[in-house]
Structure 1
Amino acid sequence: MQTLTINGSRHDVDVEGDTPLLFVLRDTLGLTGTKYGCGIGQCGACTVILDGQATRSCQIPAESIGDAKITTIEAIGQDAVGKRVVEAWVGVQVPQCGYCQSGQVMAATALLQQNPRPSDDDIGQAMTNLCRCGTYNAIAAAVRQAAA
């Protein structure tokens, strides 16, 4: 049994300790906004915020989380920075297929929480999630707009 703090609520989950957080979120708790992409931590579709850091949830076993606070896309609008990011995403019309967008929004929110005025280089270094539609210019524009 693992106790996790997700989106401000504590959840007792009966999973094996090595179960990736991604599957705890999606399969055990029904929080399906966090997407499965590659399963090897490269694409970023599964990005959540773990104690303020953008984290690939497919790579984090439930037993290693401890008391860390997890934020998923389902709660991002409750955060002032996250709300600005979502508004910028819509304003710039970033999504095309949309599959990677929850992970992109989480990565952008974590960046702006840590660095409210990132340079273009900071954005490039932080926004490492893959977008098969190639909306990288729009993603960077949305991050800049959310930071303004």
Structure 2
Amino acid sequence: MVEIRMRVNGAEVSAELEARVSLLDALRVRLGVTGPKKGCDQGACGACTVLVDGRRILSCLALAVQYDGSEVTTIEGVDHPLQAAFVRHDGFQCGYCTPGQICSAIGMLAEHAAGAPSAATEHVAGAPALTRTEIRERMSGNLCRCGAYNGIVAAIEEVAP
């Protein structure tokens, strides 16, 4: 057993866990934070996306012990204009993927602002405006079984600088 300490949604927490416990399971089972969802448990759907120290990660693929001392933000700790934009643009239907979509979009906007390249970007000098193609590429790791992609892209377009 290993004791981990981290800040989750602004609160200091600690838990004694086996070293093999995923961050997703630590959040949901041990800490009662149920926003991140277990979709595929293989890193293919993005439903478990959270922000760790401001960067988006798939929490089902991460061991909790890797993030000892980190700042973890889940949808429960998010206060961002994207949330209202998702509502305005019908960026969700059943809502299962929405926490991961929003956390991923927040991380993606930060990556883009920092000049991180993507497969849809020819160059990143000056962080060109996000196009629909660019948003779709950068959000391609988050799946929505209901098909709310047009609303998700519209919501991101609305809040993107």
So what's the TM-score if we normalise by structure 1?
A: 0.90
The sequence identity of aligned pairs, in percent, is: 38
State how 1:101-120 maps to structure 2 within 5 Å. 101-115=98-112, 117-120=129-132
- The equivalences for 1:16-27 within 5 A come to 16-27=18-29
Greater shift, 59-68 or 118-127, is seen at: 118-127
Q: Could you say which residue in structure 2 is the equivalent of 1:130? A: 143
Instruction: Report the CA distance between 1:134 and its aligned residue.
Output: 1.0
Amino acid at match of 1:27: V
The structure having more radius of gyration, on CA atoms, is 2
Mark the runs of 5 or more structure 2 residues left unpaired by the alignment. 114-128
Q: Which runs of 4+ in 1 moved over 6 A?
A: none
Larger helix share, 1 or 2: 1
Aligned to 2:61: 59
Looking at structure 2, the residues matched to 146 and 29 of structure 1 have their Cα atoms a distance apart, in angstroms, of 31
SS of 1:58's partner is coil
Unaligned runs of 5+ in 1: 78-82
1:18 touches 1:61 (CA, 8 Å); kept in 2? yes
1:98 alignment counterpart: 95
C-alpha displacement of 1:13: 0.5
Output the TM-score relative to the length of structure 2: 0.83
